[in-house]
Amino acid sequence: MRHRITRRDFVGGMLVSTGLSAFATLPSASAQASSSDHFVSPPLRTGMRGSHPGAFEAAHALRDGTLQEKEIKDTGEVYDLIVVGGGLSGLSAAHFFQKYAGADKTVLIIENHDDFGGHAKRNQFSVNGHDLVLNGGTLEMESPQRYNQWASMILSDIGVDIEAYKKENTKTGKTYEDMGLQAGLFFNQEGWQRDYLMRKSQNQAEDHWRFLSASALKAAPLTDKAREDLIRLVNFKQPDYLAGKSLSEKKKLLATKSYKEYLLNVANIDPAAAAIFQKAAAGVFCVGADALPALFAWAMGYPGFSGLGLGELPEGLLSDLQGGQHGRQKDSEETVHFPDGNATLARLLVAHLVPESTKARSQDDMGLASFDYTKLDQPGEPVRIRLGTLALNIAHDGTPETAETVSVLCAPAGEEAPRRISKVRGKQVVLACWNMIIPYMVPTLPAAQKEALAYAVKGPIAYVNVAVKNWRAFKKLGISEISCPGMFFEDVQLAEPASLGGLKAPTDPEKPIVVRMIKTFGMPGLSKRDQHRAGRSVLLGLTFEQFEHEIRQQLQRILGPGGFDADRDIAAITVNRWPHGYAYTYNSLYDPLDWVFTETSDRPCVKARQPFGRIAIANSDAGASPHTDAAFEQAHRAVVELLERQTFPFVSAAPGASTL
């Protein structure tokens, strides 16, 4: 582990001289044309990505109140709509606006990152002549058959063909299964006496849960009691740990008790056995079993509930609440994962909004499509996407009831003390950014709305993608994904064997592939929102070099027995850092039960998303759900609110009485 691969070592995922920087800040549209020889397409950039350096410094200065007054340059630009935020919600807001108001209407999308798509990020590598991609953020479309009508409309409009995609991937979809590769659990010596990789048992006749079964646990580094407790926990005929309570009482208790507490104090399993579940659902909620309601764990299929007589979770229950309630709906096998996750959706949206930016048009085209970033912000085009730019202040040009335009002050996102502040105007504005920054951008909002906007604390998470030259070690060890509850990264997974058009799934262990590693930042002992705040601070304090050290040592410990050599086999590393990651979802351990299980208007997300004059709010926070369909649905609502106000100007600019 003595050889380090830094962000300076790669351009487009290919090894080059360390004297050539591949991590230059995205130049402005005008500058790109004159510096194209040095420009690296954002998906090809390695090192620290996600919320990358240069994306948030001005935002932190805005939050801290350290921005100093500068001379403001009025650009004279006036748009029919300005969208703040170029993620899936912002891009779809632009799409809905043009669809309803007219294709000739002008739209400016302002995005602080150097790429479009927000959390729907694409990571791309070229290793030994092989093109590889993987999601750097939003993973997949969960249960698209249950999508709301507006999300379904978006998919139809941009040409998403789920059935064609599934047909294309029928053969390769079971690549790992056909090779005999299984899920595995890694016991690390720090928590379980010795390092041990346990594979899922091949005996399907015995009671099991994922990788846990009596035969698989035989050689695990556990005490007899811990092993027996785990076998009992996954048994399909467990005791009723809540005997004597009614069904209603059982479910309420499970809704208000954490899964960790349930395992330890209700199911009474050994702490060493319970530690296997310490990261339960962390990839969904960004907190572990200590902050996961036991009722959620039951709904998600975690073990320990078969004897309680809870019945079956009715099909669709909890899944059809507005925007979907992430992780609480019954699991569905109908997930759709494009090779780069939902970045394919963002790329299709941009191809429709700014057709000059790419020759690609169809779903299959997106596999290997290239985008000309100099074409995203061109004068005279109906839709312009302005990257690397932060909206600092948004104010009506007059009162919210009478103003005909809204002024938006902008600055380079990466400057703590911006040297250039420009003003653009929009006849309407959609805020498709994070709720928590909106009170700083729009200081004239009502105090109660600011408070509601501040309630949603987004969950921090890191998606790390490691391009390796081969995956022989995975094949030799017989594993395709490994749960590592006691290590720095809790999940290590081979990229899904997915193809899209000219981009072909990796199916040969001798060839390169991308390995996904996931880390969440739960802080047990705190409330969910406080865990998110504390975890964000930890994530922002980690350097690329620290991530790289952890990547190398963890892969070496797990895969070394299979012949893996970190120095030899790692080709490139991209760390997707998301300190403001998943939208906050209501949690019955900390939030009122009606916020969690109903669509009540008392929820902070409903109070926060109320329109304010010519300003409407769209984003996944507005639906209290990180689902992609929630982002689309909230965009539609925001656009309709603006168009209703435009069509019926006698209606109040804010909730309340009519202006007549």
> With bands split at pLDDT 50, 70 and 90, how would you rate the model's confidence at 315?
low
Domain ranges of the chain: 57-116+376-456+603-647, 207-299
Predicted local confidence at residue 2, as pLDDT? 40
Predicted local confidence at residue 657, as pLDDT? 40
Q: What's the chain's length in residues?
A: 660
**Interval 630-646: pLDDT, tens:** 999 999 999 999 999 98
Q: How far is Cα 653 from Cα 550, in angstroms, rounded to an integer?
A: 52
Q: Report residue 202: phi and psi, to 5°.
A: -85, -10
How much is the mean pLDDT over the chain? 90
Among 3-12, 93-102, 144-153, 196-205, which is the least confidently predicted range? 3-12
Element (H, E) at 152: helix 149-157
Q: How far is Cα 79 from Cα 287, in angstroms, rounded to an integer?
A: 41
| Token code pair at residue 449 | 């709305």
| Token code pair at residue 120 | 């729907």
Question: Does position 264 have pLDDT exceeding 50, yes or no?
Answer: yes
Predicted local confidence at residue 31, as pLDDT? 36
- 526 closest CA partner among 537, 515, 517: 537
Q: Percent of the chain at pLDDT above 90?
A: 79
Predicted local confidence at residue 203, as pLDDT? 83
Predicted local confidence at residue 62, as pLDDT? 76
**Interval 104-138: pLDDT, tens:** 999 999 999 999 999 999 999 999 999 999 999 99
Question: Which has more pLDDT, 238 or 1?
Answer: 238
Q: How far is Cα 357 from Cα 72, in angstroms, rounded to an integer?
A: 30
Q: How far is Cα 272 from Cα 261, in angstroms, rounded to an integer?
A: 14
> With bands split at pLDDT 50, 70 and 90, how would you rate the model's confidence at 615?
very high
Name residue 591's amino acid: D
**Interval 347-397: pLDDT, tens:** 999 999 999 999 999 999 999 999 999 999 999 999 999 999 999 999 999
> With bands split at pLDDT 50, 70 and 90, how would you rate the model's confidence at 656?
very low
Question: What is the rounded average pLDDT of the residues 612-629?
Answer: 94
Residue found by looking up tokens 């930890």 in the block:
538
Question: Does position 651 have pLDDT exceeding 80, yes or no?
Answer: no
Question: Does position 21 have pLDDT exceeding 60, yes or no?
Answer: no
Name residue 132's amino acid: L
Question: Does position 16 have pLDDT exceeding 70, yes or no?
Answer: no
Predicted local confidence at residue 3, as pLDDT? 44
Question: Which has more pLDDT, 517 or 21?
Answer: 517
Q: How far is Cα 656 from Cα 640, in angstroms, rounded to an integer?
A: 18
Predicted local confidence at residue 655, as pLDDT? 56
Q: What one-character-per-residue DSSP string does 16-34 give?
A: --TTS-S-PPPPPHHHHHH
Q: Percent of the chain at pLDDT above 70?
A: 90
Predicted local confidence at residue 416, as pLDDT? 83
Residue 24 burial class via C-beta count within 10 angstroms: exposed 0-12, middle 13-18, buried 19 and up = middle
Question: Does position 27 have pLDDT exceeding 60, yes or no?
Answer: no
Q: How far is Cα 142 from Cα 137, in angstroms, rounded to an integer?
A: 14
Predicted local confidence at residue 18, as pLDDT? 26
Predicted local confidence at residue 34, as pLDDT? 36
Q: What is the pTM of this model?
A: 0.92
Predicted local confidence at residue 65, as pLDDT? 79
Predicted local confidence at residue 318, as pLDDT? 59
Let me know: does 508 contact 178? Beta carbons within 8 Å: no
| Token code pair at residue 220 | 């695990």
Question: Does position 334 have pLDDT exceeding 90, yes or no?
Answer: no
> With bands split at pLDDT 50, 70 and 90, how would you rate the model's confidence at 316?
low
**What are the b/e assignments for 329-344, b being 16+ CB within 10 Å?**
bbeeeeebbbbbbbbb
CATH superfamily of 57-116+376-456+603-647: FAD/NAD(P)-binding domain (3.50.50.60)
**Interval 557-580: pLDDT, tens:** 999 999 999 999 999 999 999 999
